[in-house]
Amino acid sequence: MSIADRINPLARKLPTWVVYVLYLLPVPVLLYMAQTGGLGREPVKALEHELGEIAIQLLIIGLCISPLRRFAGVNLLKFRRAFGILAFVYVVLHLLVWAVLDVQTLERVWADIVKRPYITVGMGAFVLMLPLIATSNNRAVRWLGPLWRQVHLLTYPVVLLAAVHFIWVRKGFQIEPILYLAVIGGLLALRLIPKRARVAA
Amino acid sequence: MAHRWKNDLTRADATPYAAFMNRRQLMGGALGLGLIGAAGAARAAEELVPNSWEDITQYNNYYEFGTRKDDPARNAHTLTTSPWTVKIDGLVDNPGDYSMAQILDAMTIEERIYRFRCVEAWSMVIPWNGFELADLLTMAGVQDGAKYVAFETALRPDEMPGVSYPVLDWPYVEGLRLDEAMHPLTMMATGIYGKTIPNQNGAPMRLVVPWKYGFKSIKSIVRITLTEDEPPTSWNKANAREYGFYSNVNPEVDHPRWSQASERLVGGGLFARRQPTLMFNGYADEVASLYEGMDLSKFI
């Protein structure tokens, strides 16, 4: 029995709300840790970073779904919307911690968005997610028809902007955000492989 | 010559609790009225309340031991700090390898409570123990042609897990103009809170230049060289647009990627307000004259 044959029946049985519950658990855990010293001596930056990192991980999971089906026959398509919505939830939390607890005034928030390229890039990713979140429901899928797929190609620039934002926030040459960019680049490159070529092989 | 500079107030003058609470209420009222600027101006004259030992020793930038803030506290125990030798060379009368014991014998240790402002816009108040760099340089005998002082951190791949990554061009190097190095505020720290300085804070001896961003205050120094020309400095080599040779704390000149107008005092928890950053980190009266006639937006 192949891996796909083992996973697919399990995935069919697993309700999507399990994914939501599991992936929302880090929120209360992180808030508790931030209050009790578990995130170190400066919890605001740590919280901001953890939330951002979970968001980018969720975006990457979302990008894995279609290659998994295409190249490994593993069908997790029914969870893709959950991962996308959860990524948006974490982006919003990341943004709120940054604006309210870190930067603290509207004036400074606006100044940062306009003046700091890495924040401009991050905000760009957030804005591009808005049409995605607005159309992440069955009614929008029906209403938009084939256009829905086109709109959701926006996930590619969103995740690339997120990776650039992550690299840019660090000082010096650091490995971690570059690894994220490499993984994202790899997942996007898989989409360039023509479908016919695979059939011919 | 020790004790040339005194804190405006020290821990010995600790504010009685009731008065402290009173002022907190006043400040709270001021904040409520939106008079944050006024409260900030008053802060310069206030006494400095040092951060906790935990804040100071568990939230560090010391990339030789990793880039996360808690990496140095976790990893720096591997650094062998005894025996330790500091090479003093270049334009000095008495060049040579000085052991830490020799240096400590010749110096008078005193406590200095300084603000510490990181270029990343966080800050602390730290009660250092150490001696004035000027005393060490005088011991080495500064020659006439010397205009700058170059510093170098130990580079020990066996003891420093972080240096296997090219985050910076190792070893870490820093530099000061000679007048900055000889300034009575500039010190070599060998202790914190009266205890031996922990490895993650730069044991056994690190520079402290309180009016400059923290990365200028180079840690675990193994070499001091008096030079005629401006020496290369690590962050400037990594990104000259973002990190200049001077790197004086300046709320009016932003880092290209973030504002330097305000800072987050470490240890305040989730809901602490940012506080305004002070010119030269609050030491303008002492050091502004060093930069007279210089355009501080150009000489970053």
Chain B residues near residue A169 by CB distance under 8 angstroms: 257
Integer CA distances (angstroms), B78 to A23, B65, B66, B293, in order:
38, 10, 13, 46
- Which residues of A fall within a CB distance of 8 Å from B267? 41-42
Cβ atoms A169, A176 nearer than 8 A: no
Tens digit of each residue's pLDDT, chain B (300 residues): 677 776 665 554 443 444 444 444 444 444 444 444 444 444 554 689 999 999 999 999 999 999 999 999 999 999 999 999 999 999 999 999 999 999 999 999 999 999 999 999 999 999 999 999 999 999 999 999 999 999 999 999 999 999 999 999 999 999 999 999 999 999 999 999 999 999 999 999 999 999 999 999 999 999 999 999 999 999 999 999 999 999 999 999 999 888 999 999 999 999 999 999 999 999 999 999 999 999 999 999
C-beta atoms surrounding A6 within 10 Å:
11
Beta-strand pair B122-132/B262-265: parallel
What pLDDT sits at residue A185? 96
Query: Which residue carries 């010559």 as its tokens?
Result: B1
pLDDT at position B40, please? 45
CB spacing of A174 vs B254 below 8 angstroms: no
B282 dihedral zone (left: phi>0; alpha: psi -120 to 50; beta): left
Nearest CA distance, B45 vs chain A (angstrom): 25
H or E segment and range at residue A167: helix A155-169
**How many CB atoms within 10 Å of residue B43?**
15
CA distance A154 to B166: 34
Mode of pairing for the β-strands spanning B85-90 and B195-196: unpaired
Mean pLDDT to the nearest integer, A78-87: 97
CA B14/CA B47 separation, integer angstroms: 8
CB contact under 8 A, B270 and A43: yes
Contact at 8 Å (CB) between B174 and B246? no
A106 close contact with B: CB closer than 8 A: no
Domain of A110, in residue numbers: 3-200
The answer, for A41 touching chain B at a CB cutoff of 8 Å, is yes
> Would you call B194 helix, strand, or coil by DSSP?
coil
Q: How far apart are CA B250 and CA B281, in angstroms?
A: 7
User: How many whole angstroms from its chain centre is CA B77?
Assistant: 21
Residues of chain A contacting residue B54, judged by C-beta atoms under 8 Å apart: 41
Structure-token match 């700091």, residue found = A116
| Contact (CB<8Å) B259/A111 | yes
**pLDDT for A38-49, tens place per residue?**
999 999 999 999
> HSE of B54 in the Cβ direction (CA atoms, 13 Å)?
6
CA distance A174 to chain B (A): 6
Tokens of B234: 């690590």
Compute the distance between CA of residue B44 and CA of residue B22 in angstroms, rounded to an integer: 18
Residue of A33, A36, A41 to mutate for B, most B C-beta atoms under 10 A: A41
Q: Which parts of B9-132 fold into alpha helices (H)?
A: 17-32, 36-43, 53-58, 71-75, 100-106
- All domains of chain B in start order, with CATH: 13-47 (no CATH), 49-291 (3.90.420.10)
What is the Cβ-side half-sphere exposure of residue B292, based on CA atoms within 13 angstroms?
Answer: 6
Lowest-confidence region among A71-85, A86-100, B15-29, B231-245: B15-29
Residue (of A27, A4, A7, A12) closest to A94 by Cα position: A27
Q: ipTM surpassing 0.85, yes or no? A: no
Q: Assess A33–B contact: CB distance below 8 Å, yes or no.
A: no
> Which residues in chain A (111-140) have CB-CB distances under 8 A to chain B?
111-112, 115-118
- For B5, the token pair is 């500079």
The answer for residues whose C-beta is within 8 angstroms of residue A10's C-beta and 6 or more apart is none
Place of tokens 């939501």: A20
* pLDDT score recorded for residue A174: 86
Q: How far apart are CA A91 and CA A108, in angstroms?
A: 19
- Is the distance from CB of B52 to CB of B58 less than 8 angstroms? no
Number of domains in chain A: 1
Q: Where are the beta strands (DSSP E) in B133-268?
A: 148-153, 173-177, 187-192, 195-196, 206-208, 221-227, 262-265
CB A141 within 8 A of CB A135: yes
Sign of the four-CA dihedral A42, A45, A48, A51: negative
Cβ proximity of A44 and B264 under 8 Å: yes
- Structure confidence by residue, pLDDT tens digits, A151-177: 999 999 999 999 999 999 888 788 999
Looking at chain A from residue 54 to 93, which residues have their Cβ under 8 Å from any Cβ of chain B? Answer: none
